[in-house]
Amino acid sequence: MVDGRRTQVIQPLHFPESPVETLTVTIRGRVQGVGFRVATVRQAHALQVCGWVRNQPDGSVQALLQGTPDALDRLLSWFHIGPPGAQVHSVEHQQLATGRLFERFEVN
């Protein structure tokens, strides 16, 4: 309380204690039409990872991820399993150097 009034402290969604890394990821297999993008958004929000996810014309799913190394490792591990109905054959990722900081995670 401040001067008898309640105050609310709002924490930023993305407040890493570790350096922020950026990855591009391609997931191949049966990953379209199974809710992979929506499930990825949920996982990313839970892990405080920012970026985007989208379907590719070749049937793969592509994502750009930004977060702490631990959060990214956990999301990469989840990509190997995916949501119910997905059959993941491969997950390829590459680290990117970028000056841009994303503020949220969304379907692109």
Q: Is residue 57 part of a domain?
A: yes
> How far is Cα 97 from Cα 3, in angstroms, rounded to an integer?
46
Give the whole-angstrom CA distance, residue 6 versus residue 22: 38
- Model confidence at 98, pLDDT cuts 50, 70, 90, reads confident
Please tell me the total count of domains within the chain.
Answer: 1
58 part of a folded domain: yes
Q: Quick check: is 49 in a domain?
A: yes
User: Rounded distance, CA 65 to CA 24, Å?
Assistant: 6
Answer whether residue 19 shows pLDDT above 90: no
Residue 108 designated active-site: no
Query: Is there a domain that residue 107 lies in?
Result: no
pLDDT at 93 over 70: yes
Whether 84 maps to a domain, the answer reads yes
Report pLDDT digits (tens) over 72-82: 999 999 999 99
Q: Is 13 part of a structural domain of the chain?
A: no
Catalytic residue among 28, 54, 55, 74: 55
Domain CATH code at residue 85: 3.30.70.100
Give the rounded percent of residues in the chain with a pLDDT score beyond 90.
75
CB < 8 Å & 24+ apart, contacts of 90-93: 90/26, 90/27, 90/28, 90/29, 91/25, 91/26, 91/27, 91/28, 92/25, 92/26, 92/28, 93/23, 93/24, 93/25, 93/26
| Active-site residue, from 37, 54, 104, 108 | 37
3-state secondary structure of 15: coil
Whether the predicted pLDDT of 44 surpasses 60: yes
Task: Provide the domain limits for residue 73.
Answer: 23-97
